[in-house]
Amino acid sequence: MQTCSQKPIISKLSASDTSISFFQIMTHLLFPEAHITTLTSRAPGTKSQIINELTQMNILYDEIVITDNKQKYIKSNNIVLINCIGGTKTNEYFFLQFEKVKAQELARKIHTYIWNESGYKDIQDAGTKDGIGYKRIGKPKFATLSTQRQRHFILHIGKKDRGMGQSIQQEIDEVIGRKFNRQNNEVEKYPHEAYIRLEWVNNFDQIKPYIDLAYNLR
């Protein structure tokens, strides 16, 4: 492998912690000798978001290239080592979509709790496009860190026809001391859901019982 500035090394990022660790090590080893380019097909104008994401993951780079034709870029620049940022977005990407640092930190805490600390035995990624979804194997989602609907945490509680979302929403609003104003069409369309603005939460223990409840009712 040639590592000169004319031969960019393209870093690939995925949601896997193992992949992130690999690229942390690789870029730190190669950075003194190689010119490292992060190549991505994400939307124009998202460079600052990508910079924040790479910084959070401690991955080094020399430049960021946003292009909708990665194949052409690779050929025209005579790339030697190729792994590209494609459509798959990292967990950190979604954490950083929450505007407040407090909300970003709580989003990371929720993710860590569900996957590593809760004791849940049958967790599976739900493959959510606009956020990070959590589900039990063979069952619907029970929670979503959503970048839609005002960027908040959604609990999917029990079966839709039971309509438990509204009563649980009232409980959560009382616990955190703020009322989440739902649209009328949301109440009708998603009666089993409760919503949490993460920047309103003082500590994780306030919402932990409701995550457990949503999990158990699935």
- Each domain of the chain, given as residue ranges in start order, spans 9-92, 99-216
Q: What is the pLDDT along the chain (218 residues), one digit of tens a residue?
A: 223 333 444 444 444 555 677 777 777 777 766 778 888 888 888 888 888 888 888 888 888 888 887 767 776 776 655 444 444 567 887 888 888 899 999 999 999 999 999 999 899 989 888 899 999 999 999 999 998 767 899 999 998 888 899 899 999 999 999 999 877 777 788 889 999 999 999 999 999 999 999 999 98
Helix-strand-coil percent breakdown of the chain, rounded to 5?
Answer: 40, 15, 40
Residue 134 phi/psi, 5-degree rounding, is -125, 130
